[in-house]
Amino acid sequence: MDLARMDDFERELQTALARRPAPPDLKHKIVGRRGQQTGRSRRMIWMERLAASLILAAVAGGAAFWRRQEEQRRGEEARQQVFTALRIANHALQQMNAQLAEHNRNTQ
């Protein structure tokens, strides 16, 4: 008895739970939202490309600026070294001149 009732009940349940039709505009809404998302993702791709280009340009510009600064710094350093060497040489020559002058005076 129970089994028969159970079968009936299950059949009733199956009938009651038949799939319901989707709202008539569901597909339209899905396709609309899909279009919006596609448009948004395309915009996002362009924005990402633009951002990547800007970052790349900034990095390349920064590297060029840094290289130029470094070259200037090295040039200045070399110039200072030459000046120092010239000052040392000048000082040595002056000492030598003084010693020669003293030597001349002594021999006279």
Partner 1 sequence: MAGNWQPDFEQLVDEHQSMVFSLALRMTGDYGLAEEIAQDVFLELDRNLGKIETPLHALLWLRRVAMSRSADALRRRRVRGIDQWVEIDETHGARAEERSSPLADRVERLLATVPEPQRAALILRYQEDLTPEEIAATLGAPLATVKSHLQRGLKLLRAKAAIHLKEYVRGA
Q: Which of 1, 3, 23, 106 binds partner 1 (CB under 8 A)?
A: 23
Q: Within its chain, how far is the Cα of 48 from the centroid?
A: 12
**Site map (CB under 8 A) of partner 1, residues 33-62, x = contact:** xx--x-------------------------
> Which one of the spans 5-13, 43-51, 53-61, 87-95 is the region binding partner 1 (CB under 8 A)?
5-13
> Which 3-state string (H, E, C) describes 36-85?
HHHHHHHHHHHHHHHHHHHHHHHHHHHHHHHHHHHHHHHHHHHHHHHHHH
Q: Which of 1, 3, 14, 104 binds partner 1 (CB under 8 A)?
A: 14
Q: Considering only residues 62 through 91, tell me which ones interact with partner 1, judged by CB under 8 A.
A: none
Q: Which of 9, 65, 66, 83 binds partner 1 (CB under 8 A)?
A: 9
Select 29 or 43, whichever has its Cβ closest to partner 1.
Answer: 29
> Which 3-state string (H, E, C) describes 1-40?
CHHHHHHHHHHHHHHHCCCCCCCCCHHHHHHHHHHHHHHH
- Asked if 12 interacts with partner 1 (CB under 8 A), we say yes
